Structure 1
Amino acid sequence: MRTGAAAGHTGYFHEAVLYDSPEHLLAVVVPFLLDGVAAGEPTMVSFGERHTALLRSALPPRSGVTFLDGGDVYARPSAAIRSYRQLLADQVAAGATQIRIVGELPPVAFGRSWDWWSRYESAINHAYDDFPLWSMCLYDTRSTPPEVLTDVVRTHPRTATPDGRHLPNEVYTAPEVYLREPRPVAPDPLQRGVPLVELVDPTPAQARAVVHAVATDHVGADEVDDLSVAVSEAVTNALRHGRPPVRFRLWAGDGRVVVTVGDAGTGPTDPYAGLLPARNVVCGGLGLWITYQSCDHVAMQRGPDGFTLRLTTGDPNAT
């Protein structure tokens, strides 16, 4: 049985908390968590270190709230969805009729990689709708960029306030619409220079060989292996589902490697491509899901010349 503001709701009840002080944060979050524990619902928090300490100090001893490692959960969007879906499925299998979670993205998400985290916030309205989840996503209005806050209210159906209200966001946009909109993607500074390698219509094996030959001098062995897998999937998809020519470019420096794979096609038609496994593997998309879990940032760009996938291994916010 659903409780609180989510009573009578089916599926995912997704809210934003736009707070401007620690007191504001606690006024929303503490009652939400304690009410969940009192109702016998699995009640969890996925915060960074600072807000974890703040919340622990505000909760009573042995509160019954479970604290997750936010750094691990929010490493990459597709991995976060996969992890949360498994967690939610396990809780439902154990008998949960509602699950409460409060979470916050790490500050690095608001930099050059915000485009894929904004896609995450939109996609989970669909990805978690199989479960009786009520979650609150926290955003500090003092430090979150205005353009990010604009996306937040468009990707969260409601906003929770300190006085106990749960207000609908009038500009909320369904994920099937939001995810098909062009997202602004900030260029990586490395792309200002000439690519170290440029290939036309490479085979996946050729692309992998280039990654191993060049990236080894800039990132660790495990990162090279992951990028090699991602590049191979990207080139395979472009050759199989795109339109020629397929262009491969690679830049490297400052502890990261940037690869773009472009073709003259329009890109994947599935709005959830990359964030969820392909619903129809025959039509492509599984490779992009693998790619999302193998890189530190993946950006999709559509333009008059076609579709380009940009893969970054290393800190995507480095200057």
Structure 2
Amino acid sequence: MRTGAAAGHAGYYHTAGCFGSDEELLGLAVPFLTDGVVSCEPSVVVLDDRNAELVRAALPAGAEVTFLPGGAVYERPAAAIRAYRKILAGHVAAGASQIRIFGELTTVTQGVTWDWWARYESAINQAYDDFPLWSICAYDTRSTPRAALADVMRTHPRTAMPDGQYLPNAGFTDPHLYLSEQRPLVPDPLQASEPTVELLNPTLSEARQAVHAADRGHVASMEVEDLVVAVSETVANAQRHGSGPVQLRLWSGTDRLVATITDAGAGPDDPFAGLLPAGDGTNGGLGLWIAHQSCNHVALHRHADGFTIRLTAGNPHH
């Protein structure tokens, strides 16, 4: 049986929790978690080390709350979805009627890679909706950029307040609409220079060779090989599901490799492509999902001339 604010709710009860002080953080976290413990509901915390220790110290001694490292869980959005679905399925199989998660994206995710984490926050409204999950996604208003907070209000149906209220977000946008919106692609500074490699209508073999040709030894070899796979899959998608010509560009920096694949099509029909399991793999879903698993950042951009995917290996946080 569902309890608390989620009582009577079917599926995912997705809330944002904005806080501006340690006291407000604890006001959100402690009652939420202790009520879960009292109700014998699996309760999970995913915070950075400092905030995790604050919450741990404020909980009653012996409270059965599981703490997971935020940096490990929130490495890549598609991987986070896969990991959470496994955790949730395990709790449901063990008989849980509700699972509580109090989580906080790491500060670094709110920088240049925020676009795919905003897509994550929107997509999980569907990705977790077959589980009896109640989560509070915590955002520190002192450090979260204003634009990111605006996205938080659009991707969460409701906001948890430190005084215990749960208020609907008037700006909440259905994930199908939010994920289909056209957004500008924030350029990587490397893209201000001439590409290291530029190919028009490459074969898959040429695309793979191009990644190796652009590699200057500044990126771990395993990440380079992951980029090889992602570029090959993305070029194949563009050729199969997009409209020609297909253009591949690669830039090499001191800490990263950046690839863009552009075609004249409109991009995938499925707005969740890349973040959720690919289903039957039609219209590019499988290749995008592989790219989201393989790269340290994937940016999607629908524009007047077509559709561009940017893939980053190495450090995407420039």
Task: Provide the aligned C-alpha RMSD in A.
Answer: 0.9
Equivalent residue, structure 2, for 1:15: 15
Question: What SS does structure 2 have at the residue aligned with 1:137?
Answer: strand
Equivalent residue runs for 1:193-212 within 5 Å: 193-212=193-212
Q: Note if contact 1:216-1:224 (Cα within 8 Å) is conserved in structure 2.
A: no
Q: Deviations over 1:28-74 (max 9, x none)?
A: 11000000010000000011111111111111221111101211110
Q: Note if contact 2:269-2:283 (Cα within 8 Å) is conserved in structure 1.
A: no
Equivalent residue, structure 2, for 1:92: 92
Question: What SS does structure 2 have at the residue aligned with 1:284?
Answer: helix
Equivalent residue runs for 1:1-319 within 5 Å: 1-318=1-318
CA distance in 2, matches of 1:313, 1:98: 38
CA distance in 1, matches of 2:203, 2:147: 39
CA distance in 2, matches of 1:114, 1:256: 18
Q: Which amino acid aligns with 1:167?
A: L
Normalised to the residue count of structure 2, the TM-score between the two structures is 0.98
Q: Percent identity?
A: 61
Q: Which runs of 5+ in 2 are unaligned?
A: none
* Stretch of structure 1 that moved more, 209-218 or 294-303: 209-218
Q: Which runs of 5+ in 1 are unaligned?
A: none
Question: What SS does structure 2 have at the residue aligned with 1:173?
Answer: coil
* Stretch of structure 1 that moved more, 235-244 or 56-65: 56-65
Normalised to the residue count of structure 1, the TM-score between the two structures is 0.98
Moved over 6 A (4+): none
For the structure 1 residues 151 and 242, does the alpha-carbon distance in structure 2 shift closer, same or farther, using more than 3 Å as the test? same
Question: What SS does structure 2 have at the residue aligned with 1:23?
Answer: helix
CA distance in 2, matches of 1:107, 1:203: 39
- Quote how far apart the aligned CAs of 1:24 are: 0.4
CA distance in 1, matches of 2:17, 2:93: 29
Q: Note if contact 2:214-2:251 (Cα within 8 Å) is conserved in structure 1.
A: no
CA distance in 2, matches of 1:248, 1:93: 45
Q: Which amino acid aligns with 1:67?
A: F
CA distance in 2, matches of 1:128, 1:273: 16
* Stretch of structure 1 that moved more, 93-102 or 308-317: 308-317
- Quote how far apart the aligned CAs of 1:216 are: 4.8
CA distance in 1, matches of 2:263, 2:47: 40
- Quote how far apart the aligned CAs of 1:316 are: 1.5
Q: Which amino acid aligns with 1:157?
A: P
CA distance in 2, matches of 1:282, 1:115: 24
Question: What SS does structure 2 have at the residue aligned with 1:167?
Answer: strand
* Stretch of structure 1 that moved more, 308-317 or 28-37: 308-317
* Stretch of structure 1 that moved more, 189-198 or 161-170: 161-170
